[in-house]
Amino acid sequence: MNEDKGWALLQQPVWRIIDQSSLGPMFEALQSFAMDDTLCTSVGSGEAPATARSWVHHDTIVLGTQDSRTPFLNEGLKVLEQAGYRYIVRNSGGLAVVLDEGVLNISLIFSESEKGIDINRGYDAMVALVKEMFSDFDKKIEAYEIVNSYCPGSYDLSIDGKKFAGISQRRIRGGIAVQIYLCMNGSGAERAELIRRFYEKAIQGEETKFSYPQIKPDVMASLSELYGVELTVQDGMLRFLTALKKISGTIQSGELNGYERSLYDGYYDRVVKRNESVLTK
C-alpha cells in the first residue's frame, strides 16, 4: 500500500463535483452504475475533467454477480424484500452490500491516460482521501481484509478491527471509477445481520463453487459508533469536499455535460437489461 502515490493521484488540476447525495428514495442504484459508466467514458476520452460523485440510495441491497448464482437465490431475495429492501445486481465485482440513508457513497473518476494508475494506486487514492476526511479524530483507520464482513476485500477500511467502509473499482473505456461506501451512522451489525440472513437462506448449507463470506455482524460498525459521536451523511459530505479541496486546491460544482447526457440513456438501458437477465435466470 502506497498512500503517497494515492495522494498524488488526488492532486488533479481541477475536480468536478457531482453531488447526488440528496436526491431521495426515487434515485435508484441502477442509475448510479449507469452514471459512473458514463463518467468513466467521458473522463477517459478527455471530454470531462477528473470527477468526484457523491450519492446515497435508500434501503437498497447491491448484490454481486456471484450472489445471483447462489443455489436458493429467490429464498434469499425474499429475506431482503421482507426487510423492506430493494435489490439490484451490479455490473462490477464484489459481493452484497447494504445501502441506506446512513451510507455515503463516493466515486472518484480518473482517466487512464495518466500513466501508472494500476489497480492498487486507485485504491490508495481513496484510502488517502478517507484518512484526510477523518484526520481530526485520534483513532487509526486501517486498510486490510475484514474476513467475516460482508463483501470482504483487501482494502476494507476499519477502526479497531471493525469495518465501516468497502472500496471497489471499475474500469471502462479509458476511465477508472474508484467507489467507496462509508457507513456514517446507524448500526453496522444490523446491516451485516441482514446480509448474513440473506446468505443463510440463499445457500442453505449447499456446497458451492464460490466461497461466500461467513458473516459475523459484530465485525462491522458505523463511523458514528466507532467515534462515539453522531455523524450524518451531510457531515461526511462536508468532510469530503473540504479534504478534496485541501489536497487538490480546486473543486468545482458541476453536472453532466452534453456529451455525457447523450451517453447516459444507453448505459442506463444496458445496466437495466443486464440486471433483469441476471435475476431471471
The edge-to-edge listing of strands for the beta sheet with 51-55 is: 142-143, 157-159, 162-172, 175-183, 103-111, 51-55, 15-20, 251-253
Burial class (CB in 10 A: 0-12, 13-18, 19+), 256: middle
Bridge partners of 180, per DSSP, are: 106, 167
CA–CA gap between residue 193 and residue 96 (Å, rounded): 12
CA–CA gap between residue 54 and residue 107 (Å, rounded): 6
Residue in 211, 215, 155, 156 with CA at minimum distance from that of residue 191: 215
Query: Exactly one of 56, 103, 128, 151 is catalytic; which is it?
Result: 151
CA–CA gap between residue 7 and residue 132 (Å, rounded): 10
| Catalytic site includes residue 151 | yes
- CA 143 centroid distance within chain: 15
CB distance 83 to 170 below 8 Å: no
Q: Which residues does the annotation mark as catalytic? A: 151
